[in-house]
């Protein structure tokens, strides 16, 4: 039996958020009929239903939800049941203002939108857990419910709170971490600017200050805020698990590269990793981010199948301009998520709302009804995904990992840096893009995990590395894994203190070099790097690198202040090789460098000789291997796959070369 993300749903999952409380019951029957027509087999119910379930502090109303779940069950539609805690009702805020989040200036948030709760509010926790108790009591055994959905997009709107109660919780978190205030003083460097604390009561969240707040305080507050939300999530999970058995998984929906929650830590507590993806249609490279985010989700679940929990069938409503999805994009990007390990494709939302802030957000069932392009595309996808059943649970095998650590990301993007123009996303994309374009399967990994199974580990920019991270990287390198570090890496320890004695401390012998001084470039400034006889351009960042014994110069600055000094250095050790890139190479330069590095590392792409703009991924399980060919170009493409295959969706057979229409996708079964 293949590994199923949801044991109670042995099919490829397809569906979306279903918010029937927005509609008269007479519409529900039609919903069911149309869901069946579109191939929907899973709906997420109740995400924003708290006020309808508990209209006042002492009244409850579950009958309508009983009828919804029974109706779903009667129609063979499974339910991912939300705990309904994502948007507290107005009465809670009115009677208990301490449940409302407070911003850094001391302003308390009002109800009237959603997710306005303070993660550290004990009253919010009490009321939300009481709701979860009721939900679980009533629906633990409901035959339609195959998964529980805790909260919704934790941190999307409120990711931190500066209230008195949050300050207390932050202090408690710090006491657990540091033990005594002197240790905190030392780790935060409070000798600076007279910030020294004589007792815990003086320690605050980084509220509005006149100038840069202490960076270690900011970093710890980010960690604390992620943990505070995670504690809430875990408290709900605990209530659910008191009555619900392990065969029913629990999830909460992530937001890809979301900057406010440490998803490595979160994912340890989530049975089915699920994710929401709303590509920016103004970005011509949305498909690169589409692949990168999906790879992150697969990696967060250690390779387990994950779910695309939300996407829009067409337009969204929250960017400046919200176009309809371009032709074929909805289908191709959906299947792209399957190509990278998703075993469920769901949407926000089933039926487009007619009132409220999201009425111009597309739904699977548009305002204009079923005689629409959106409906036809949705139903076509729903029917086609049924045919992907054989690939459920299929895994990908990546030989390359990109390192991502939220602490390092947070520290990199604080204020008071050598350059505030560096972003973690840009650094990741700089390296992910050429690897994806060359057809490599890429995992994401945390620097503190065992990295030794990879042939090549790349840290596009790992500004902060803990002592354990250094140990893991050294161990992987000693064991035969090749390592690449990009700019501004290895600068600070876990609490953002500089590791003195030349940057890259702890890893200097691995790379055969260290950085004496950072040389960020100003906007518009570019410099040149010579690699052999090739000239490459760098922008944004350069470094004054110093060589250590045993190193080799791979690239040299040929212009600017650093002309004649190394820009890229490598060192070959007994079992592996390591490269340090002290610059931001332009696209061509990084692509050719990585190509050479992959070859030297013995990493192989999924397929060789794939036309540009065609993405290829492979998943395998006991039914064989499945090759996804995604044509992101506007013309038909032919790809030589070197063996016989059958398209799972169209049932066409191929002997060697396979054609893929413009913007189309094939899912080939290689028996
Ligand atoms: C998020 C939320 C949904 C909805 C969509 C709109 O993903 O989880 O409730 O608001 O955004 O794009």
The best mutation among 83, 293, 310 to test binding of ligand 1, ranked by most ligand atoms within 8 Å of the C-beta, falls on: 310
How far is residue 52's CA from residue 46's CA, in Å, rounded to a whole number? 9
The per-residue pLDDT for range 593-611, each reduced to its tens digit, is 999 999 999 999 999 999 9
Annotated active-site residue in 11, 310, 543, 554: 310
Cβ neighbours around 102 below 10 Å, total: 24
User: What local confidence, expressed as pLDDT, does residue 526 receive?
Assistant: 98
| Rounded distance from Cα 96 to ligand 1 centre (Å) | 26
pLDDT tier at 626, thresholds 50, 70, 90: very high
The per-residue pLDDT for range 271-320, each reduced to its tens digit, is 999 999 999 999 999 999 999 999 999 999 999 999 999 999 999 999 99
Residues 78-100, mean pLDDT to the nearest whole number: 98
| Rounded distance from Cα 348 to ligand 1 centre (Å) | 6
The per-residue pLDDT for range 401-412, each reduced to its tens digit, is 999 999 999 999
Please name the helix (run of DSSP H) or strand (run of DSSP E) that holds residue 180, with its range, or none.
none
Average per-residue pLDDT for the chain: 97
The best mutation among 157, 158, 251, 276 to test binding of ligand 1, ranked by most ligand atoms within 8 Å of the C-beta, falls on: 276
Length of the chain: 671
Q: Does the annotation mark 153 as catalytic? A: yes
How far is residue 97's CA from residue 621's CA, in Å, rounded to a whole number? 52
The per-residue pLDDT for range 538-593, each reduced to its tens digit, is 999 999 999 999 999 999 999 999 999 999 999 999 999 999 999 999 999 999 99
Minimal-distance CA residue to ligand 1 atom 12:
316
User: What local confidence, expressed as pLDDT, does residue 474 receive?
Assistant: 98
| Rounded distance from Cα 253 to ligand 1 centre (Å) | 10
Percent of the chain with pLDDT over 70: 100
pTM comes to 0.98
How far is residue 114's CA from residue 536's CA, in Å, rounded to a whole number? 49
Residue 536 has pLDDT above 60, yes or no: yes
Cβ neighbours around 119 below 10 Å, total: 27
Minimal-distance CA residue to ligand 1 atom 3:
348
User: What local confidence, expressed as pLDDT, does residue 462 receive?
Assistant: 98
| Rounded distance from Cα 114 to ligand 1 centre (Å) | 11
Taking Cα atoms as reference points, which of 509, 481, 485, 506 lies closest to residue 577?
481
Closest ligand 1 atom to Cα of 255: 7
Taking Cα atoms as reference points, which of 639, 643, 645 lies closest to residue 659?
639
In eight-state DSSP terms, residue 448 is: T
Closest ligand 1 atom to Cα of 316: 12
Please name the helix (run of DSSP H) or strand (run of DSSP E) that holds residue 80, with its range, or none.
strand 78-82
Q: What separation in angstroms does the CA of 592 have from each of 254, 359, 589? A: 34, 47, 5
How far is residue 603's CA from residue 62's CA, in Å, rounded to a whole number? 55
User: What local confidence, expressed as pLDDT, does residue 117 receive?
Assistant: 98
Minimal-distance CA residue to ligand 1 atom 5:
348
pLDDT tier at 56, thresholds 50, 70, 90: very high
pLDDT tier at 620, thresholds 50, 70, 90: very high
Taking Cα atoms as reference points, which of 591, 567, 592, 587 lies closest to residue 579?
567
Residue 152 has pLDDT above 90, yes or no: yes
Please name the helix (run of DSSP H) or strand (run of DSSP E) that holds residue 637, with its range, or none.
strand 637-640
pLDDT tier at 347, thresholds 50, 70, 90: very high
Residue 397 has pLDDT above 90, yes or no: yes
To 5 degrees, how large is the angle CA 279–CA 280–CA 282?
Answer: 140
Taking Cα atoms as reference points, which of 162, 142, 133 lies closest to residue 221?
162
Residue 176 has pLDDT above 90, yes or no: yes
The per-residue pLDDT for range 226-265, each reduced to its tens digit, is 999 999 999 999 999 999 999 999 999 999 999 999 999 9
User: What local confidence, expressed as pLDDT, does residue 671 receive?
Assistant: 82
Domains and CATH numbers, the chain: 41-246 (3.20.20.80), 400-601 (3.40.50.880), 614-670 (2.60.40.1180)
User: What local confidence, expressed as pLDDT, does residue 3 receive?
Assistant: 86
Tokens of 491: 């600068």
Please name the helix (run of DSSP H) or strand (run of DSSP E) that holds residue 646, with its range, or none.
strand 645-647
User: What local confidence, expressed as pLDDT, does residue 459 receive?
Assistant: 98
Residue 134, SS3?
helix
User: What local confidence, expressed as pLDDT, does residue 403 receive?
Assistant: 98
Closest ligand 1 atom to Cα of 253: 8
How far is residue 653's CA from residue 2's CA, in Å, rounded to a whole number? 24
pLDDT tier at 1, thresholds 50, 70, 90: low
Residues 511-537, mean pLDDT to the nearest whole number: 97
Which residues contact ligand 1 via a Cβ below 6 A?
152-153, 276, 278, 310, 316, 348, 358, 361
User: Half-sphere exposure of residue 16, counting CA atoms within 13 Å on the CB side?
Assistant: 28
How far is residue 457's CA from residue 303's CA, in Å, rounded to a whole number? 17
| Rounded distance from Cα 523 to ligand 1 centre (Å) | 35
Taking Cα atoms as reference points, which of 519, 510, 419 lies closest to residue 465?
510
């Amino acid at each position: 039996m293949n590994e199923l993300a949801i044991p109670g749903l042995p099919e490829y999952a397809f569906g979306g958020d279903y918010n029937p409380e927005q509609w008269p019951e007479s519409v529900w029957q039609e919903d069911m009929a149309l869901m069946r027509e579109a191939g929907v087999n899973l709906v997420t119910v109740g995400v924003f239903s708290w006020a309808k379930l508990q209209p006042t502090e002492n009244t409850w109303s579950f009958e309508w939800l009983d009828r919804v779940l029974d109706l779903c069950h009667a129609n063979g539609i499974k339910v991912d049941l939300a705990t309904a805690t994502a948007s507290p009702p107005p009465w809670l805020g009115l009677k208990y203002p301490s449940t409302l989040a407070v911003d850094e200036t001391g302003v308390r948030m009002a109800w009237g939108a959603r997710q306005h709760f303070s993660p550290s509010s004990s009253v919010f926790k009490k009321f939300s857990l009481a709701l979860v108790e009721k939900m679980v009591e009533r629906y633990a055994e409901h035959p339609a419910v195959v998964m529980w959905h805790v909260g919704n997009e934790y941190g999307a709107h409120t990711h931190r709170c500066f209230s008195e109660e949050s300050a207390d919780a932050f202090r408690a978190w710090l006491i657990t971490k540091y033990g005594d205030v002197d240790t905190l003083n030392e780790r935060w460097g409070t000798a600076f600017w007279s910030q020294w604390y004589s007792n815990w009561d003086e320690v605050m969240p980084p509220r509005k200050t006149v100038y840069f707040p202490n960076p270690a305080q900011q970093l710890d507050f980010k960690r604390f805020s992620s943990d505070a939300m995670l504690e809430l999530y875990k408290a709900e999970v605990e209530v659910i698990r008191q009555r619900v058995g392990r065969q029913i998984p629990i999830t909460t929906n992530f937001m890809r590269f979301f900057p406010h929650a440490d998803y490595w830590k979160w994912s340890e507590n989530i049975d089915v990793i699920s994710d929401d993806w709303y590509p920016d249609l103004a970005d011509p490279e949305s498909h690169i981010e589409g692949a990168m985010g999906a790879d992150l989700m697969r990696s967060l679940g250690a390779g387990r199948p994950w779910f695309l929990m939300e996407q829009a069938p067409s337009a969204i409503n929250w960017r400046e301009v919200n176009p309809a999805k371009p032709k074929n994009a909805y289908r191709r990007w959906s299947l792209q998520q399957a190509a990278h390990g998703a075993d469920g494709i769901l949407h926000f939302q089933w039926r487009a709302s007619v009132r409220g802030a999201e009425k111009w957000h597309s739904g699977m069932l548009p305002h204009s009804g079923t005689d629409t392009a959106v409906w036809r595309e949705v139903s076509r996808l729903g029917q086609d995904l049924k045919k992907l059943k054989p690939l459920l649970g299929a895994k990908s095998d990546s030989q390359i990992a990109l390192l991502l650590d939220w602490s390092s990301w947070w520290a990199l993007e604080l204020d008071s840096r050598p350059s505030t123009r560096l972003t973690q996303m840009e650094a990741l994309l700089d390296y992910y893009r050429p690897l994806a374009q060359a057809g490599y399967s890429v995992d994401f990994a945390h620097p503190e995990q065992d990295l030794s199974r990879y042939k090549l580990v790349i840290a596009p920019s790992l500004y902060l590395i803990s002592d354990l991270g250094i140990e893991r990287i050294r161990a992987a390198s000693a064991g035969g894994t090749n390592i690449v570090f990009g700019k501004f890496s290895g600068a600070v320890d876990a609490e953002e203190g500089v590791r003195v004695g030349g940057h890259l401390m702890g890893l200097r012998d691995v790379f055969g070099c260290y950085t004496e001084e950072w040389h960020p470039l100003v906007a518009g400034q570019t410099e040149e790097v010579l690699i052999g006889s090739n000239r490459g351009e760098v922008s944004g960042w350069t470094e004054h690198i110093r060589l250590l014994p045993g190193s080799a110069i791979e690239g040299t600055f040929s212009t600017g202040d650093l002309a004649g000094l190394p820009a890229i250095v490598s060192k070959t050790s007994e079992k592996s090789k390591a490269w340090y890139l002290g610059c931001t190479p332009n696209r061509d330069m990084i692509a050719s460098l990585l190509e050479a590095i992959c070859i030297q590392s013995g990493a192989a792409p999924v397929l060789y000789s794939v036309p540009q703009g065609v993405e290829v991924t492979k998943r395998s399980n006991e039914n064989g291997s499945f090759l996804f060919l995604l044509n992101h170009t506007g013309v038909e493409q032919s790809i030589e796959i070197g063996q016989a295959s059958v398209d799972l969706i169209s049932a066409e057979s191929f002997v060697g070369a396979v054609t893929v229409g413009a913007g189309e996708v094939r899912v080939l079964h290689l028996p």
